[in-house]
């Protein structure tokens, strides 16, 4: 997987957009326009995925990645091989202790 990620990053015609959803596609063959919705990560590019934010976050939520069968902190790494390797803050944690 690491090799493929390097290939994608080196390709100037490919733009990887995480936490993004395509909401509409218009156009015709050879000329499409896509409308996207970007979900906020609430964490800036300085995140090193050290996990310190997850250690201090006390609020827990059902883990959607595990179909609600477990709990996760309000600050979390979405999954082990997440790309980019940055933590995410659950929007429900904003304004809590």
Phi-psi bin for 45: left (phi > 0), alpha (psi -120 to 50), beta?
alpha
What is d(CA 1, CA 21) in angstroms, rounded to the nearest whole number?
22
What residues are paired with 20 via a beta bridge? 38
Is residue 77 over pLDDT 70?
Answer: yes
Where does the pLDDT of residue 33 fall: very low under 50, low under 70, confident under 90, or very high at 90 and above?
Answer: very high
Note the pLDDT of residue 97: 63
Is residue 94 over pLDDT 80?
Answer: no
What per-residue string of b and e applies to 16-54 under the rule 16 or more CB within 10 Å gives b? eeeeeeeeeeeeeeeeeeeeeeeeebeeeeebeeeeebb
Note the pLDDT of residue 25: 96
pTM of the model: 0.64
Higher pLDDT, 50 or 97: 50
The DSSP element (H or E) to which 60 belongs, if any, is strand 60-62
Note the pLDDT of residue 95: 75
pLDDT in tens, 7-16: 988 999 988 8
Domain limits of the chain? 2-93
Given CA atoms 67, 21, 4, 83 in this order, what sign does their dihedral have? negative
Q: In the chain, what are the helix, strand and coil shares in percent, each to the nearest 5?
A: 20, 30, 50
Is residue 54 over pLDDT 90?
Answer: no
């Amino acid at each position: 997987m690491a090799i493929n990620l390097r290939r994608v990053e080196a390709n100037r015609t490919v733009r990887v957009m995480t936490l993004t959803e395509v909401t509409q596609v218009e156009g015709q063959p050879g000329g499409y326009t896509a409308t996207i919705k970007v979900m906020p990560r609430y964490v800036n590019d300085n995140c090193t995925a050290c996990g310190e934010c997850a250690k201090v976050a006390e609020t827990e939520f059902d883990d959607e990645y595990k179909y609600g069968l477990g709990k996760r902190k309000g600050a979390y790494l979405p999954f082990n091989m997440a790309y980019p390797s940055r933590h995410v803050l659950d929007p429900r944690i904003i304004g809590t202790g």
